[in-house]
Amino acid sequence: MTRVLYVEDEALLAISMETVLLDAGYIVALAHDGEEGVARAVSFLPEVIVTDYMMPRMDGPSMLKELESRGLKVPVVLTTAVPEQDITDDVRSQFDVYLPKPFSERDLLAAVNGLLA
């Protein structure tokens, strides 16, 4: 079974999407900000990361840079309310799928499944 790290500071969204992923057969670890995401990723070794862009303490792109510096580079879904055209090329290079908020359960599963196909 595939391990997914889901990093999201909105608790209700994180819990509901965790349930969606678990029901789809994924093993899921949650983190509520980028710092916690780094700690979880190092011990959980996810095969896919789904992360919010803007979070307290450490944002998604900073978390991904930190993980890459530690040798952990996996496919990434970036979830955000930031319009895609406003995302810099530097940030764009850190993720594989842009998933605009709000998104549906089906959108999330399609993004994660697409990275594993």
Mean pLDDT of the chain: 97
* pLDDT (average), residues 43-60: 97
pLDDT tens, position by position, 77-112: 999 999 999 999 999 999 999 999 999 999 999 999
What pLDDT, on the 0 to 100 scale, is given for residue 117? Answer: 85
* Residue carrying structure tokens 């995401």: 37
Strands 27-31 and 48-52 come out as unpaired
Residue 73: what pLDDT? 95
pLDDT mean over 32-51: 98
Enumerate domains of the chain plus CATH numbers.
3-116 (3.40.50.2300)
- Report helix, strand or coil for 2: coil
**Rounded mean pLDDT of 50-61?**
96
Instruction: Look up residue 86 and give its DSSP letter.
Output: G
